[in-house]
Structure 1
Amino acid sequence: MKKTGLRFSLFLFCIITFLQACKKDDNNSPSQAIDASNWGSFVPVSWYNLELKLIKETPGFTPPVAARAIAYTSITLHETVVRGMPDGTSLSGQLDGLSYLPYNDPEARYNWAIAANSAMADILRSLFGNASSDNQALIDQLEVDNQLELTSSEFTQEDIDRSIDFGKQMANAIYLWSASDKGQAAYLDNFPASYVPPVGNGLWEPTPPLFQSAMLPYWSKNRFLFSSNKNIINQIAAPPTYSVNPTSTFYQAANFVYETVNSLTQEETYIANYWADATGTFTPAGHMLAITAQLVKDNNLTLDIAAQLFTQVGIALNDVAIVCWDCKYKYNLVRPITYIHKNINPAWNGKIGTPPFPSYVSEHASFTSATGTILGAYFGTSFSFTDNQKVSDGFSPKTFNNFQDMIDEAAYSRVYGGIHYEFDINEGKTLGKSIADQVLTLKF
């Protein structure tokens, strides 16, 4: 009897010890969970590489539309990952209209890289609803491949399912928020027939050889992501007064474009083509994303830092496009090719095709200045790097001593191409920096 009682006591002790151990493990599992800083950046980089392909191959993804998609993809990434950043700050309440987002269970474990993978897959499905069936299949496949790569014994299937579900909830919430910004369906109608451009001296008119109608004339009506950027609209100086007098500032600016294109060096011609990023490419906004993704990968940034940097660039690109397009259709300024044909040489042509919207201010200069300013804030203003993103298009890698060199070259490429005046690019660079400076005040 005594032996039986002893055995029972030992058995009971083992059971209690086991249960206490289980309870201890359960209570500690959230605090022991791996936070976002423990993962690398391969998940977002893989998705942005696919997004660049989608921008190239999906109808309607012109530069502002591409910038918008990049922004919402990045915000989805950040808002998913920030829950796994002990000192991170959500953008909810900081971005215009972004208020209600899913909450993770603080008592549960999450694989934040898997959550990010799920979120980015779903947001791209939603943003690129008109992607080809082949590209839709690529989204499905990348989601599966990444998840298999990330699955490990450290996380139970329940943890993985919870992470996937949270990512999908976040993507859905961000997409619903995006639908109210007035830009959701723009990829279906970049050239609205309802817009009739004003007519008059110095005003934009369709340019050769395609003579397309005005692209995205209502884009400036879109909601800013960061409402502080609205104020920058009123800080943009007006372009020089239109004049055909050969001694006027305007004539001299147009003649400078004319003379510059007529005397381009081989290197300047190369620069004009390198930065063209026209229809069928990843666009100027995509080029900025591609450089960002390359630097994130090359410098082995962790998931949390990568999410912040991508989101800063994305927000800046989106809001730059709104201010830039506001200027374009506020001033409706004639393009250099039209002015030169009428007042200098009717047989002249630029080095690259003129896009179908007004001249002032330069979109290229604006996008590049905003992105370069943000990248410089993180990597440093003297950081040198090589842009490898045009190699597949037949260009050699391009090395820059710093981000300002990149900004200046990309901006000036539009003068070399014959599609912008110098004052277009100078004010564009100012605009881009102003937007970036505002975005850098956001708390992450």
Structure 2
Amino acid sequence: MMRSVYLYILALLVPIAARALPQQPLEKHLQTAIRATSIVMIHDVVNPPAASRFYAYSLRGAYALVAAHNESIISPDRLGTHLEPLQIPKVGDYNYQVAALFCILKTAEILLPSGYMLEEDQAQLKSLLMKEGLKESDLQKALEVADQVAKQVVAQAASDNYSKLSAMRRYRPLKGDAYWYPTPPGYMEGVEPNWNIITPIFLDSCSQFVPAEPVPYSSREDSPFYKMTMEVYEAVNGLTEEQKLIASFWDCNPFAINTSGHMMIGFKKISPGGHWMGITGIAVSKANLNLDEGILAHTLVSFALMDAFISCWDEKYRSNRVRPETVINRLIDKRWQPLLQTPPFPEYTSGHSVISTAAAEVLSFLLGDSFHFTDDTEVMFDLPVRTFTSFRSAANEAAISRLYGGIHYRDAIEIGQQQGRMVGQYIVNRLKRAGLRPFDVSTP
């Protein structure tokens, strides 16, 4: 039943993507493959940092395939990442673009807990390609290559320390009012307290861009911390309808719990990284990028998201700061609730601020500082579209949305943006040194 619901949502989205894409042979299938991966992550309730990792590795092999066949696509081996080169099968013996599309799905199929759900998406893609004129023999060759490359990517992913997480010590709340403690209604334990052991893509280490220390905790009414807490309290109590809409649009909580009496109902949504992958797809379509360029854009954004989450999570469990909801209930109003459900991990820095800003820096480099676009990523969750004049303006809105939602203090937002900007600009500088140039696009 659940699988049919997800497929129905995907079926509604595919025609929209197809109309927005240029009428070229394979471009329309890229967004379908990435959305299918997102749907499985929603099903599995993949947490935000883990989702960024799955996107990065799912696209890794596809990027290597197109770069090996298209001289205009810079090789991933020139970017200076921590990733080892992949062995790409002999050029010219197969349709590399078809192989790249299936490599995305096959890699995700292996990596994701419910990756088997992607078998049906692969079957649908095979059928569509055959109807579009692809010979069965050519399809089989491409599938074999996709399988070979996907297995290499999965083997590479196994060396980034992810497999060690399950055996590591889980989060244990520290004594003291200044430290994070699980929040209602689910009182869920801290998400990925050891994520800083994951090997980054570009960054030298998880602590390469350690942000400034947060404003120190204090219950004194004249203290900077108390004043920041009051700002959150008053902001939520006085929200305009537009601010409520902004907060909901950028909520991106993979698993929110609603209570009704003694019953709790869970609602699944796309992750913050998934939202930015959606924005990337929208931009790729509007810029009329070809398949190879689209794969490059998605991969670089996914790499930036993964590194930004690693940097952010390193700080979250170092400062381990208490959330506004806990402090407000303790010191100001014991019945107060934020507009959005408080996420289950420490407050500082704001994850949305860090990862949105980093992604926006990469997209601004690739497509320009004034790229106008309409974001319909949240339509599937019954939220209206929002239009932005640039990627940075979207990132700014994503950041301030966390204050409107009542789940972050202002310093976590603003310093989080600084942290994300440092990560993003570092990656962009690496891309420039490798010889990557922005796409040649013009937007109205």
State the TM-score, normalizing by the size of structure 2. 0.83
1:64 shift after superposition: 0.7
The equivalent residue for 1:172 is 151
Residues 40 and 300, structure 1, Cα contact 8 Å, conserved in 2: no
Residues 121 and 143, structure 1, Cα contact 8 Å, conserved in 2: no
Shift in alpha-carbon separation, 1:43–1:82, aligned structure 2, 3 A: farther
Where does 1:50-69 land on structure 2 (aligned, <5 Å)?
50-59=36-45, 61-69=46-54
Shift in alpha-carbon separation, 1:230–1:306, aligned structure 2, 3 A: same
1:125 shift after superposition: 0.9
1:75 and 1:394 map into 2 onto residues whose CA distance is 32
Paired letter, 1:309: A
2:111 and 2:78 map into 1 onto residues whose CA distance is 23
Shift in alpha-carbon separation, 1:185–1:116, aligned structure 2, 3 A: farther
The equivalent residue for 2:130 is 148
**Do structure 1's residue 91 and structure 2's residue 55 form an aligned pair?**
no
1:206 aligned to which of 169, 182, 189: 182
Q: Which moved more, 1:427-436 or 1:261-270?
A: 427-436
Q: Which moved more, 1:249-258 or 1:367-376?
A: 367-376
Shift in alpha-carbon separation, 1:336–1:56, aligned structure 2, 3 A: same
The equivalent residue for 1:43 is 29
2:222 and 2:72 map into 1 onto residues whose CA distance is 59
1:418 and 1:334 map into 2 onto residues whose CA distance is 13
1:192 shift after superposition: 7.1
2:36 and 2:86 map into 1 onto residues whose CA distance is 26
Q: Deviations over 1:333-366 (max 9, x none)?
A: 0000111112222221110100111000011111
1:370 and 1:410 map into 2 onto residues whose CA distance is 12
**Do structure 1's residue 286 and structure 2's residue 306 form an aligned pair?**
no
Q: How many residues align?
A: 396
The equivalent residue for 1:124 is 108
1:55 and 1:90 map into 2 onto residues whose CA distance is 28
2:391 aligned to which of 378, 403, 409: 403
Residues 113 and 150, structure 1, Cα contact 8 Å, conserved in 2: no
Residues 44 and 113, structure 2, Cα contact 8 Å, conserved in 1: no
2:359 and 2:131 map into 1 onto residues whose CA distance is 31
The equivalent residue for 1:331 is 319
2:164 and 2:378 map into 1 onto residues whose CA distance is 29
1:393 and 1:264 map into 2 onto residues whose CA distance is 21
**What SS does structure 2 have at the residue aligned with 1:386?**
strand
Shift in alpha-carbon separation, 1:245–1:367, aligned structure 2, 3 A: same
1:268 aligned to which of 243, 247, 255: 243
RMSD over aligned Cα, in angstroms? 2.3
**What SS does structure 1 have at the residue aligned with 2:218?**
coil
| Identity %, equivalent residues | 29
1:227 and 1:377 map into 2 onto residues whose CA distance is 18
**Do structure 1's residue 243 and structure 2's residue 243 form an aligned pair?**
no
Structure 2 segments unaligned to the other structure (5+ residues)? 1-23, 256-267, 437-444
**What SS does structure 2 have at the residue aligned with 1:286?**
helix
**What SS does structure 1 have at the residue aligned with 2:162?**
coil
1:88 and 1:297 map into 2 onto residues whose CA distance is 18
Structure 1 segments unaligned to the other structure (5+ residues)? 1-37
Q: Deviations over 1:294-316 (max 9, x none)?
A: 22123321122112111110001
1:95 shift after superposition: 5.3
Paired letter, 1:79: A
2:275 and 2:40 map into 1 onto residues whose CA distance is 13
**What SS does structure 1 have at the residue aligned with 2:94?**
coil
1:91 shift after superposition: 2.0
Q: Deviations over 1:29-54 (max 9, x none)?
A: xxxxxxxxx86522321211111111
Residues 381 and 403, structure 1, Cα contact 8 Å, conserved in 2: yes
2:42 and 2:341 map into 1 onto residues whose CA distance is 18
**Do structure 1's residue 367 and structure 2's residue 359 form an aligned pair?**
no
1:197 shift after superposition: 2.7
2:342 and 2:327 map into 1 onto residues whose CA distance is 13
The equivalent residue for 2:198 is 222
1:152 and 1:209 map into 2 onto residues whose CA distance is 52
The equivalent residue for 1:259 is 234
Please tell me whether Structure 1 or Structure 2 has the larger radius of gyration of its CA atoms.
Answer: 1
1:168 and 1:150 map into 2 onto residues whose CA distance is 22
Paired letter, 2:178: G
1:149 shift after superposition: 5.1
Residues 40 and 114, structure 2, Cα contact 8 Å, conserved in 1: no
